[in-house]
Amino acid sequence: MEVKQADAGSLCNCEVFCLLNDCKETIVIRSKTGNQFATILYEASQYLQNNLAGQTEQDVKNMMTALLHFPVPLTHDEKLMIVNTLPRTPLELSVIVHNYDERLTGDQVEKLLTTIASNCS
């Protein structure tokens, strides 16, 4: 197998879960390799389903829109980490946001945590 483009794009867990479900519906298992692939699809989708905590595609869109309009610009990877982990405390947020202390004030941290809480189900 050859990697054509190492960083083609980043997806959140919900998007990966939807892609895996689409893949499961369209795949035809014909060989031993196909059975192994089906097992991988099943295990990955079960893991993601258990960790999504009821998050839907609409929740992800709403969260990304809210983060886009946040006064402090966040990188795409920071937004994805926020969507995937849904931080609830300043400590959890500090692990996600690069240069947390330099980029965010206490009020901005509280506003961001409020934004996250209001946009998740």
Give the 3-state secondary structure of residue 1: coil
- Contacts of 71-78 with C-beta under 8 Å, sequence gap 24+, read 71/108, 71/111, 72/103, 72/104, 72/108, 72/112, 76/10, 77/10
pLDDT grade, residue 98 (50/70/90)? Answer: very high
pLDDT at position 3 over 60: no
The whole-number pLDDT of residue 51 equals 82
Confidence at residue 92, expressed as pLDDT on a 0 to 100 scale: 94
Tokens describing residue 11: 């997806």
Question: Residue type at 89?
Answer: T
User: What pLDDT was estimated at residue 4?
Assistant: 67
Residue with tokens 């409020």: 114
Residues 6 or more apart in contact with residue 13 via CB below 8 angstroms? 48, 51, 52, 55, 83, 84
**pLDDT of amino acid 21:** 83
Which token pair is 1?
């197998």
Tell me the CATH number of domain 57-119, given options 1.20.1250.40, 3.40.640.10, 1.10.240.10, 3.30.465.10.
1.20.1250.40
112 confidence band (pLDDT: 50, 70, 90) = very high
Is 12 within 8 Å of 84 (Cβ atoms)? yes
Per residue in 13-71, pLDDT (tens digit) is 888 888 888 877 776 655 556 677 888 888 988 888 888 877 888 888 899 999 999 99
Are the C-beta atoms of residues 12 and 83 closer than 8 Å to each other? yes
Q: What's the pTM value of the predicted model, to 2 decimals?
A: 0.78
C-beta separation of 119 from 63 below 8 A: yes
Q: Does the pLDDT at position 115 exceed 90?
A: yes
